[in-house]
Every structure is written in structure tokens, then in C-alpha cells.
């Protein structure tokens, strides 16, 4: 059976670990099925592509600490890749990863803070060339 190729736009606006993880796993799965994938990190999502902050993403921060800890423990037991590993795989396997040029300075960051492979989105062309052209737009 042949692979179905789609242009996919995935927007990640959260820095809660489960949301970020879902965005990255979805992106990687679609990429590996042959789709062209563009990830956009805006609002608090820019924390997910920050070299240091990515290590401290919290799971279920609005729930009691033991709930988030239990999910983290299960993820470890399942030997799931870390967010950093997923970002690296996406970069190396050809996903386009873009950061919001407004939110990065708003959160006191610069391009030097990004993990490898992240570029600034061009606000003049991002929506016209990526979002409108996409077969699927997914938000997390």
C-alpha cells in the first residue's frame, strides 16, 4: 500500500509536557508516513524549543503533583523518547520547525536559545504559504 502524502501544519501553543508531546509525536508519525510537516511554536510553545526550558516542561501542572509524577513515571517505564529526542528526530528527518517571531522576544529569548533546526517564521508569508496551503492544520 502506498503512503499518503499531505502538507501538514502543526501549531503548538502550549508548554505543558503532554500537549507538546502529542504535537511532536503526531508530527513525527505524519512525517514518517511521507507527509511534509511544518511545526510552528507560538505563545508558550516557544518554551518547548528552548534548549534549557525544554528539560523542565511539566506534566499536568494544574493537577496534584503526584498525578503528573505518575504520568512521567509511566512514560519512563514505556521507554518513550524525551521531548529533546523527538525534536532532534523531527529536525533530522526533515520537518520544518518554526518559532513565532513575536513570542520569542516577548518571552526574553533569542534564536541562540533554540534547539537545533528551529528558524523564525516569516510573518509576511507563514499563513499564506504554510497554513493556507496545508491539507491539515492541527493545533496543540
At 61-110, the pLDDT tens digits run 888 889 888 988 888 899 999 999 999 999 999 999 999 999 999 999 99
pLDDT for residue 1 is more than 70: no
Which domains are assigned to the chain?
A: 7-139 (3.40.1260.10)
The angle formed by the CA atoms of residues 83, 74 and 140, to the nearest 5 degrees, is: 40
> Cβ distance 83 to 50 under 8 Å?
no
What does the pLDDT read at residue 5? 83
> Cβ distance 85 to 57 under 8 Å?
no
What does the pLDDT read at residue 2? 66
**pTM for this structure?**
0.91
At 2-13, the pLDDT tens digits run 666 899 999 999
pLDDT for residue 117 is more than 70: yes
What does the pLDDT read at residue 75? 85
What does the pLDDT read at residue 90? 98
Helix (H) or strand (E) holding 85: helix 83-92
> Cβ distance 138 to 26 under 8 Å?
yes
What does the pLDDT read at residue 77? 92
Mean pLDDT across the stretch 12-28? 96
What does the pLDDT read at residue 61? 84
Left (φ > 0), alpha (ψ -120 to 50) or beta: where does 127 sit? alpha
> Cβ distance 37 to 27 under 8 Å?
yes
Give percent of the chain with pLDDT exceeding 70.
97
Amino acid at each position: 500500500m502506498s503512503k499518503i502524502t499531505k502538507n501538514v501544519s502543526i501549531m503548538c501553543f502550549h508548554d505543558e509536557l503532554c500537549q507538546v508531546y502529542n504535537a511532536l509525536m503526531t508530527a513525527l508519525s505524519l512525517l514518517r508516513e511521507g507527509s511534509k510537516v511544518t511545526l510552528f511554536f507560538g505563545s508558550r510553545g516557544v518554551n518547548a524549543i528552548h534548549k534549557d526550558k525544554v528539560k523542565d516542561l511539566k506534566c499536568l501542572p494544574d493537577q496534584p503533583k503526584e498525578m503528573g509524577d505518575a504520568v512521567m513515571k509511566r512514560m519512563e517505564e514505556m521507554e518513550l523518547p524525551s521531548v529533546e529526542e523527538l525534536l532532534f528526530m523531527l529536525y533530522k528527518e526533515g520537518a520544518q520547525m518554526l518559532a513565532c517571531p513575536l513570542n520569542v522576544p516577548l518571552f526574553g529569548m533569542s534564536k541562540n536559545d533554540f534547539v537545533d533546526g528551529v528558524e523564525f517564521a516569516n510573518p509576511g508569508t507563514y499563513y499564506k504559504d504554510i497554513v493556507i496551503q496545508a491539507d491539515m492544520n492541527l493545533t496543540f
